[in-house]
């Protein structure tokens, strides 16, 4: 079957893109901070790194290229998602075929090898996440707690608002072409979640502000409740996209990672499976925020949706160079929604097996 026969189409209102011009960074100075990463709760046991020596390009799944058409206003854009196994040299320390040193198992720990790539090599992680036994345990806990299997949520800034991130799937303005009909099942499963106005999606939202009662919606949240706790209480989701990082002022990855771990811990304690997303931009200059997010996903053994990989072949690497702030281009918006749906589908199918 040729690429041209696999079509995907959705309409994104041009006014939604223009509205994002006012998207601003949050001011984390209003939050009490700690420079130390949060410690893991007693019920979370990160897997030891016992990775044997192997090549970083070994064992990565081949992904079928995607041809898509996206209508934005009066323009029709043809998109082609590349074979995302072909990633080379995006970070100075990574070379194709570089050997990853083996980590010797610590005495007393199981000798079962951990075959996951080290977070240092996060650009080689697959675009669509895999699901671990740990994620299934979190999901099972959530079911015991009464979480809604038809509900997912999103944590992010204005670039995660439904008008630009997957909201189209709660409308009749999308078309899944030949080869992608299977995604309709996941769209039906989570009908109503795609367009939902989440308490945890707001202009300027960051890993710090989502943990601050100052940022909570006073009309929907209880006094002293954080946006994250409020969203979980209101919607009892089974899955949460964590799309944060672009608004982190200064690019301090240590503090960002500390807050990210706290966000993840709150989700886990409430039986919500996080899907951590890498960001498309590199405002900090050395990808250290994406690297830190990969560390969190690795340590907690959680799904990582490596969105960064999906837009590397686009002009400007998918970033709109006409305005500051790390905004995506029109083509990158389309890829973000579609690969986000693929990530949701992949995680949900494995959790519900």
| Domains of the chain: residue spans and CATH | 3-351 (3.40.50.1110)
Biggest alpha carbon–alpha carbon distance for the chain: 63
What is the structure's pLDDT at 225?
A: 97
Higher-confidence position of 297 and 247: 297
pLDDT band at 23 (very low <50, low <70, confident <90, very high): low
CB-CB neighbours of 224 under 10 Å:
8
Three state DSSP letters for the chain: CCHHHCCEEEEECHHHHHHHHHCCCCCHHHCCCCCCCCCCCCCCCCCCCCCCCEECCCCCCCCCCEEEEEEECCEEEEEEECCCCCCCCCCCCCCCCCEECCCCCCCCCCCCCCCCCCHHHHHHCCCCCCCCHHHHHHHHHHHHHCCCCCCEEEEECHHHCCCCCCHHHHCCCEEECCCCCCHHHHHHHCCCCCCCCCCCECCCCCCCHHHCHHHCCCCCCCCCCCHHHHHHHHHCCCEEEEECCCCCHHHCHHHHHHHHHHHHHHHHHCCCEEEEECCCCCCCCCCHHHHHHHHHHHHHCCCEECHHHHHCCCHHHHECCCCCCCCECHHHHHHHHHHHHHHHHHHHHHHCC
What token pair was written down for 145? 């707690």
Residue 72 has pLDDT above 50, yes or no: no
Copy the structure tokens of residue 40: 């893991």
What pLDDT does residue 276 have?
98
Give per-residue pLDDT as tens, 122-161.
999 999 999 999 999 999 999 999 999 999 999 999 889 9
pLDDT > 90: what percent of the chain?
Answer: 57
Predicted TM-score (pTM) of the model is 0.75
At 133, list the tokens.
């036994």
């Amino acid at each position: 079957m040729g690429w041209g026969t696999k079509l995907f189409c959705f309409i994104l209102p041009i006014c939604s893109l223009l509205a994002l011009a006012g998207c601003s960074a949050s001011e984390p100075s209003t939050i009490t901070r700690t420079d130390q990463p949060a410690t893991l709760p007693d019920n979370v046991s990160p897997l030891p790194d016992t990775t044997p020596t192997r090549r970083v390009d070994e064992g990565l799944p081949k992904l079928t290229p995607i041809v898509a058409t996206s209508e934005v206003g009066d323009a029709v854009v043809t998109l082609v998602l590349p074979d995302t196994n072909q990633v080379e040299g995006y970070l100075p320390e990574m070379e194709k075929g570089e050997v990853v040193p083996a980590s010797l198992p610590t005495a007393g720990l199981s000798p079962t090898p951990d075959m996951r790539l080290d977070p240092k090599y996060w650009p080689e992680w697959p675009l669509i996440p895999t699901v671990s036994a740990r994620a299934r345990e979190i999901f099972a806990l959530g079911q015991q707690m009464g979480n809604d299997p038809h509900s997912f949520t999103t944590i992010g800034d204005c670039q995660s608002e439904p008008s630009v991130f997957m909201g189209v799937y709660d409308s009749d303005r999308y078309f899944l072409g030949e080869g992608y009909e299977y995604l309709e099942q996941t769209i039906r499963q989570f009908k109503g979640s795609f367009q939902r106005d989440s308490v945890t999606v707001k202009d300027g939202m960051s890993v710090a502000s989502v943990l601050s009662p100052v940022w909570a919606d006073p009309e929907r949240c209880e006094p002293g409740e954080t946006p994250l706790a409020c969203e979980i209480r209101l919607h009892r989701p089974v899955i949460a996209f964590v799309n944060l990082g672009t608004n982190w002022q200064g690019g301090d990855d240590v503090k960002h990672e500390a807050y990210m771990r706290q966000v993840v811990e709150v989700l886990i304690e409430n039986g919500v499976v996080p899907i951590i997303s890498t960001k498309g931009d590199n405002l900090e200059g050395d990808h250290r925020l994406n690297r830190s997010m990969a560390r969190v996903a690795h340590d907690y053994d959680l799904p990582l949706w490596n969105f960064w990989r999906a837009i590397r072949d686009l002009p400007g690497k998918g970033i709109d160079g006409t305005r500051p702030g790390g905004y995506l281009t029109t083509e990158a918006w389309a890829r973000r929604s579609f690969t986000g749906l693929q990530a949701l589908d992949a995680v949900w199918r494995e959790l519900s097996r």
